[in-house]
């Protein structure tokens, strides 16, 4: 069960652990480094809407381990260490869930370590995985928490390049968004990416100028691209523009090398799982630099978000992820037993059965504090059903 620290702060941890075990689950994966948001909590004890502090750490970090980019302790840490308390429980295993490159607090403090688009705009919500200081921060964060706590493992979210449209506070445009525009505006041309691509023999500076001209032309036009046309145009660009194709492939190498560095830094007995993408379905992960097979080989585990509205779509996405992994590593699945995804006991049970029948036994649910009681009932029924 994925859980936010602030949700567990208002409940007895032993009771939460017993509840999770009663659902047929054996692990709590706790948000240990997280970004900002606005969260509706149906079962919240101290309020129904929560705004977490942006880009903070929910564990006792050691500042000496870090360089220019330093974690900030969440205010909850002043009164208790929930990760440490969870690790002391015998009833459940504990994993640390770390958001890496999605950190607006650090991005605002260190714009030189952020993604920079073709126009020079800094996307402050996305630390660039090519930037040395950002990479050092990610590695130190993972090593710090696994050295300081006996967690069974870590689940790493946003290890790579985020899309241009990613739910930043009050995103606004009077131009219709589409995948072609979004993906071009999200490409990073910071000095680190330009230098790395140049070293790989890619004319990223020429690509940057081309992207600028194309996006400028689109924004100067008096029409909006329909979704199907924008999708076809983006696909065509990735296949017919050799420089763009090489640049996108190189981004995968950047992210894979970062994950490999993290795997080499954390203690050997701690598992490393990669949540590879914010894309739905998971096949779109490549835009973010997530080569599923390469990441499985580097980390050992892919923890895919099968956030779909039917059991059939969950099975289809799982089939595709397994196909892309080509037998490398181990696959876990994350489901959402609630709106807008799996709604109803039968649907949740069918999704769980579908994953199990595909050989995926490690199944998690997002997120404890977001669920109504009926969702927990659906999860318990599904996880405790007789395996088919």
User: Does the pLDDT at position 139 exceed 50?
Assistant: yes
CB 131 within 8 A of CB 253: no
- Phi then psi dihedrals of residue 49, to 5 deg: -120, 130
User: Distance between CA 189 and CA 116 in Å, rounded?
Assistant: 5
pLDDT confidence bin for 387, thresholds 50/70/90: low
Pairing of strands 271-275, 300-305: parallel
Would residue 357 count as lying in a domain? Answer: yes
Would residue 267 count as lying in a domain? Answer: yes
**Phi-psi label, residue 289: left if phi above 0, alpha if psi -120 to 50, beta otherwise:** left
Residues shown for the chain: 388
Would residue 301 count as lying in a domain? Answer: yes
User: Distance between CA 142 and CA 100 in Å, rounded?
Assistant: 9
Closest alpha carbon to 27 in 43, 11, 16, 42: 16
Q: Mean pLDDT throughout 161-181?
A: 85
Closest alpha carbon to 256 in 216, 222, 286, 223: 286
Numbers of helices and strands, H then E, in the chain: 14, 14
Give the pLDDT of residue 118.
98
Hey, what are 16's tokens?
């939460």
Would residue 210 count as lying in a domain? Answer: no
User: How many folded domains does the chain comprise?
Assistant: 1
pLDDT confidence bin for 343, thresholds 50/70/90: very high
Pairing of strands 39-40, 49-50: antiparallel
Closest alpha carbon to 280 in 325, 234, 336: 336
227-to-180, 207, 231, 237 alpha-carbon distances in Å: 9, 24, 6, 15
pLDDT confidence bin for 171, thresholds 50/70/90: confident
Q: Mean pLDDT throughout 261-280?
A: 95
Average pLDDT of the chain? 96
- In which domain, by residue range, is 11 found? 2-115+124-171+252-383
Q: Mean pLDDT throughout 175-189?
A: 95
Terminal-to-terminal C-alpha distance of the chain = 23
Would residue 220 count as lying in a domain? Answer: no
135-to-97, 144, 222, 365 alpha-carbon distances in Å: 17, 14, 41, 29
User: Distance between CA 226 and CA 247 in Å, rounded?
Assistant: 26
Portion of the chain with pLDDT greater than 70, in percent = 99
Would residue 186 count as lying in a domain? Answer: no
State the CATH number of the domain containing residue 28.
3.20.20.80
User: Does the pLDDT at position 265 exceed 90?
Assistant: yes
User: Does the pLDDT at position 368 exceed 60?
Assistant: yes
CB 50 within 8 A of CB 61: no
pLDDT confidence bin for 388, thresholds 50/70/90: very low
Q: pTM of the prediction? A: 0.96
Give the pLDDT of residue 336.
98
pLDDT confidence bin for 167, thresholds 50/70/90: low
User: Does the pLDDT at position 55 exceed 90?
Assistant: yes
Which of 57-71, 166-180, 264-278 has the lowest average pLDDT? Answer: 166-180
Would residue 30 count as lying in a domain? Answer: yes
Interval 86-113: pLDDT, tens: 999 999 999 999 999 999 999 999 999 9
Would residue 179 count as lying in a domain? Answer: no
Q: 302: which DSSP letter? A: E
């Amino acid at each position: 069960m994925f859980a936010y620290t602030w949700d567990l702060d208002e409940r007895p941890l032993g009771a939460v652990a017993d509840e999770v075990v009663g659902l047929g689950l054996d692990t709590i994966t706790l948000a240990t480094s997280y970004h900002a948001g606005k969260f509706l909590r149906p079962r919240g004890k101290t309020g129904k809407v929560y705004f977490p502090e942006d880009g903070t750490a929910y564990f006792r970090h050691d500042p000496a381990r870090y360089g220019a980019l330093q974690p900030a302790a969440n205010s909850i840490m002043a009164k208790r260490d929930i990760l440490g308390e969870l690790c002391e429980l015998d009833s459940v295993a504990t994993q640390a869930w770390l958001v890496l490159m999605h950190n607006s607090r650090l991005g605002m403090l260190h714009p030189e370590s952020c993604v920079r688009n073709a126009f020079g705009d800094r996307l402050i919500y996305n630390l660039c995985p090519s930037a040395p200081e950002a990479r050092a921060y990610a590695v130190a964060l993972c090593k710090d928490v696994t050295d300081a706590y006996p967690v069974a493992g870590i689940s790493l979210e946003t290890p790579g390049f985020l899309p241009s449209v990613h739910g930043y506070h009050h995103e606004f445009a009077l131009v219709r968004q589409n995948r072609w525009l979004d993906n071009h505006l999200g490409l990073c041309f910071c000095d680190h990416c330009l230098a790395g691509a140049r070293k790989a023999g890619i004319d990223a500076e020429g690509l940057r100028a081309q992207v600028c001209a194309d996006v400028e032309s689109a924004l100067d036009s008096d029409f909006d691209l329909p979704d199907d046309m924008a999708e076809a145009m983006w696909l065509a660009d990735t296949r017919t523009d050799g420089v763009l194709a090489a640049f996108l492939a190189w981004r995968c190498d950047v992210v894979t090398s970062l994950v490999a560095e993290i795997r080499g830094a954390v203690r050997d007995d701690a598992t490393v799982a990669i949540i590879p993408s914010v894309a739905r379905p998971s096949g779109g992960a490549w835009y973010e630099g997530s080569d599923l097979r390469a990441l499985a080989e580097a980390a050992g585990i892919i923890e895919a978000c099968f956030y779909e509205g039917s059991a059939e779509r969950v099975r289809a996405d799982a089939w595709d992820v397994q196909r892309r992994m080509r037998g490398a590593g181990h696959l876990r699945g994350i489901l959402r037993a609630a709106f807008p995804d799996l709604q109803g006991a039968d649907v949740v049970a069918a999704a769980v059965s579908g994953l199990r029948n595909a050989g995926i036994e490690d199944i998690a649910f997002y997120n404890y504090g977001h669920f109504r009681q009926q969702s927990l009932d659906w999860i318990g029924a599904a996880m405790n059903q007789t395996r088919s």
